[in-house]
Amino acid sequence: MAGSGGPLRFVLGRLAGTAVTLFGVAVVVFVVLRALPGDTITAKLGTEAAALDPDQRAALTRYYGLDKGPVEQFLGWLGGVCQGRLGVSLDTGVPVRTLIADALPVTVELALLAMLIATPVGVALGILAASRPGRARDLTTQTLGLFGLALPEFVLASVCVAVLATVFSYFPDPGTYTPLTESVGGNLSQLIYPALVLAVGLAATIMRTTRTAYLENARSEFVRTARGKGVSPLRVRLGHILRASLVPILTMTGIQFGYLLGGTVIVEQVFALPGLGRLLLQGITQQDYAVVQSTTLLVATAFVLVNLAVDLLYRLLDPRTR
C-alpha cells in the first residue's frame, strides 16, 4: 500500500542525513587541507605573507586560527565559513569570497552547457543502440561510447585548442574572458568548445546508462502487455520504455552534473577559463590553502546538494518510492 512514513518524513530524514554528511565533508576538508599541510601554512604566512598589509595578515591569522588548538581551529573556521568568511588569498590579498564569486558562474555555465549538449546526444545514442541490441548500430555506438570514456579530457582539450589556434587563430587567454552578461555571443564562442570537450565523456556515460535501462525495460513484462493491447510501436517506445528509463537516466545525469562542478579543472586550465577549477589549480600550485580549502568545500557541498536534489527528484518521478 502507500509508502510508509510519508513524503515529509522522508524529506526531513534526507535533509538530516545531508547535514551530517556536510559536517563530515567539512571535517575532511579541514583535516586534509588544514591539518596535514599545517607547517607549510605557517611557513608561508611567515615568508610570502610579508607582502600583505597588516590587516590582511591579521585576517589570515584569524582565518587559520594559528594560535588555537585543532578543535577550536576547526570550529572557528567552520563558523567563519558559515558567515561567509573564506579568508584572503595569500598571493594577491583578494578575499577568497570575491575570487569564488567571480569563478563560480563560469564553471556552472560550462557544466550546464556541457550537460545540455551531452544529455540529448547520449539519450538518443543510447536508444539507437538499444533498439537493435547486438547488431551493427549497437556495436558501433558502444564502441564509440567506450572510446568516448577512454579518451582523456586533456587530450581532447589539447587537440581542440591546437586546431582552434591553427584554423581560427584563436588563442585562449584568461584575460579576455567575456562574461555572459557582457556579450552572449562572445561568451558562448569561448565556452562552446570546452563544453563540447566535456560533453564527449558525459554523453558516453549517459549513452551507456540509457542503453542499459532501455534494454532492461524493453524486456519487461509491462512492455509486452502494452504491445498486447495493440499500442503502436512508437508509443510503446516513448510512453513505456523510455518513460521507465527516465528515472535512471535522470539520476545519472544529475550525478554527472555534480561531478562536473569539480571535474572542469583540466578543461578550464587548457582553455584558460577563469572558473572554479582553474582557481583551485592555481591555489594548489601556489599552496594558497585558503583558496583550495574554500573551493573544495564549496564544490563538495554543491555535489552533496545536487545529489540530494536528484534523490528527491527520483521520488517524484517514481510513484513506487513516494
Partner 1 sequence: MTTQAPRARHDPLTRGVWHDRNGRAGTILTAALLLACLTAAAGLLPYDPLAQDPTTRLRAPSAAHWFGTDQFGRDVLARTLTGIAASLRVAAVAVACAALIGSFLGVLAGYVRGRLDAVVSRLADILFAFPAILLALAIVAALGQGWFNTAVAIAVVYTPIFLRVARGPTLSVREAEYVKAAKVLGYGPARILLRHVVPNVSAPVVVQTTLALSWAILTESGLSFLGLGTQPPQPSLGLMVSEARNLLTEAWWTLAFPAALIVVAVVALNLLGDGLRAALDPREGTR
Partner 2 sequence: MNGPLLEVRDLRAAVGDLDVVRGISFGIAPGETVGLVGESGSGKTFTALSVMGLLPDAARVTGGSIAYEGRDILRLPERERRSLRGAGIAMIHQEPLTALNPLMRVGAQIIEGLRAHGVPRAEARRRMLDTLDEVGLPTPDRTARRYPHQLSGGQRQRIVIAMALAPRPRLLIADEPTTALDATVQQQILAQVDRLRRDHDLAVLWITHDLGVVARLTRRVLVMYAGRIVEDAPVRALYADPRHPYSAGLIASLPPAPAPDGTPAERTPLPAIGGTPPDLAALPPGCPFAPRCPQRADRCTTEEPPLTDRTACWVPKEKWT
- The footprint of partner 2 (CB under 8 A) covers 1-2, 133, 219-222, 224-232, 235, 239-240, 243-244, 317-320
Q: If contact means CB under 5 to 8 A according to the sort of partner, which of partner 2, partner 1, none does residue 259 touch?
A: partner 1
Q: If contact means CB under 5 to 8 A according to the sort of partner, which of partner 2, partner 1, none does residue 159 touch?
A: partner 1
Q: Closest CB to partner 1 among 231 and 272?
A: 272
Q: If contact means CB under 5 to 8 A according to the sort of partner, which of partner 1, partner 2, none does residue 25 touch?
A: partner 1
Q: Closest CB to partner 1 among 231 and 281?
A: 281
**Taking the complex as a whole, how short is the minimal distance between the CB of residue 284 and partner 1, in angstroms?**
4
**Taking the complex as a whole, how short is the minimal distance between the CB of residue 302 and partner 1, in angstroms?**
9
What is the C-alpha separation between 122 and 76, in angstroms, rounded? 45
Cβ-in-10-Å burial (0-12, 13-18, 19+) of 13 comes to: exposed
Q: Closest CB to partner 1 among 226 and 253?
A: 253
Q: Closest CB to partner 2 among 151 and 250?
A: 250
What is the C-alpha separation between 112 and 306, in angstroms, rounded? 13
Of 66-74, 179-187, 188-196, 302-310: span binding partner 1 (CB under 8 A)? 302-310
Task: Give, as ranges, the residues between 28 and 67 that touch partner 1 (CB under 8 A).
Answer: 28-29, 32-33, 36-37
Q: If contact means CB under 5 to 8 A according to the sort of partner, which of partner 2, partner 1, none does residue 37 touch?
A: partner 1
Task: Give, as ranges, the residues between 112 and 151 that touch partner 1 (CB under 8 A).
Answer: 134, 146-147, 149-151
